[in-house]
Amino acid sequence: MNELVERYLSGESSVPLAQEYGVTPATMRRKLLKAGVVMRPRGGKRKLSLADEANVVEQFLAGEKQEYLAALYGVTRRTLCRTLERAGAVRAARWIEGIHIVGAIAVKRCSSCWVTRPLADFHDDSSKRDGMRSNCRYCATTST
Ligand SMILES: [Zn+2]
């Protein structure tokens, strides 16, 4: 594996190297990271596959740092961030009392009807600590 790392550092690209050594690109990236190698940015053009997206969200919710995941999956921080935002995981990661994670979905309990709902069911409110209104959009509609 040292040879693989050396060849990567000398400028060879990771995908053909992984093929040559009979490992998946993800395994390859993990090995490079373990060896302390900073992956070269790939210009952010690469999009995550659906399977990778699911893994990224899962690992992120499990507490992995965005920097680490971006390097592991070979995408830019921006791409990673967009992926997490789409999955509703970024808000969830800003852990605030009252927000829980069910599967990969962050939820919060409405202060009016006490129903636990996905975060998408709460309107934004920047004055609130968690950035959302305390009651759900259904209650918000009926009370105004
Ligand atoms: Zn409600």
Per-domain residue ranges of the chain: 2-90, 96-143
pLDDT over 60 (residue 130)? yes
Whole-number Å distance between alpha carbons of 40 and 13: 9
Ion ligand 1: protein residues whose beta carbon lies under 5 Å: 110, 112-113, 136, 139
For ligand 1, the distance from its centroid to the CA atom of residue 33, given in whole angstroms, is 45
Q: Which amino acid is at 67?
A: E
User: What pLDDT band is residue 77 in, cutting at 50, 70 and 90?
Assistant: confident
Interior/surface letters 121-132, b for 16+ CB within 10 angstroms, e for the rest: bbeeeeeeebeb
For ligand 1, the distance from its centroid to the CA atom of residue 128, given in whole angstroms, is 16
For ligand 1, the distance from its centroid to the CA atom of residue 88, given in whole angstroms, is 20
Whole-number Å distance between alpha carbons of 47 and 20: 23
Q: Where are the beta strands (DSSP E) in 1-143?
A: 99-102, 105-109, 116-118
Whole-number Å distance between alpha carbons of 72 and 48: 11
Q: What integer is the mean pLDDT of 7-33?
A: 78
Q: What integer is the mean pLDDT of 17-24?
A: 83
Q: Which amino acid is at 95?
A: W
From the options 3.30.60, 3.90.25, 2.30.29, 1.10.287, give the CATH code of 96-143: 3.30.60
pLDDT at 91: 55
Q: What integer is the mean pLDDT of 20-33?
A: 79
pLDDT over 90 (residue 142)? no
pLDDT at 40: 58
pLDDT at 139: 92
